[in-house]
Structure 1
Amino acid sequence: MDDKVMIPWARVATLLARAGRRQTWLAKQLNVSSNVVVNWKSRGVVPAGRATSVARAFGVTVEALMAAQLEAPKMSQAGVRLVQRLGELDRSGLLTKQTEGALMAFLDLVESVASGAQTKGRT
């Protein structure tokens, strides 16, 4: 892979959200400090040299990691607000694993109801 090609952070963030994982989990999986992952997020890209290890951590291929179809599906406004709130709680240190799990389950429920309502509106 060309070293000048970078992995957009949005794709990694999408995979983290889908897996219900935090940046600290990714750092542990890649055997790097949390500061390294924070820097990737701040820069908006992950070095291409990390593509194989990032893909392996999420159980996807490098091709899938680099593919445009990884972009997050449309999320309801309630889902967006919940994810933003989760980030705030995580940064403040107030988010426990139990609370995070419950909120992610709630997000799944919100999204399934929202997608069901959209489907009913099309028929």
Structure 2
Amino acid sequence: MSPAPILVPPLAEPAADATEALHDAIAERPRWAIPCRAAADPAPWTSDDEEDAAWAAAECAACPVLDLCEAFGIATRADGVVLAGRRWAKHTAGNLRTRGSTTSPATAAGANERENAS
């Protein structure tokens, strides 16, 4: 099970699209290719322990769905989990927009979605 939860509908359209895209991409790949799914213990991706979270974030570096995971985090306003190589908290998505982050196209898309929703 990945830390990307299966969210219960109804979701806002951007969140539903990001969730579907991430889950489809994960399903298309072997379990061993996705670090949070391949781990014997997926708890570090949801752990409150900083060392566990740092380890999980480092494991994300080679993930083939990193950009989709980031888009999911932005669209769903993830909180308290490690996604796309970082621990997400309530302020994370806002900080990415404020800094003008261009870490991936997902960041820009998420920032535009939030600005349009305001």
TM over 0.5: no
Q: TM-score, normalised by structure 2?
A: 0.30
Structure richer in helix, relative to its length: 1
Whose radius of gyration is greater, 1 or 2? 1
Q: TM-score, normalised by structure 1?
A: 0.29
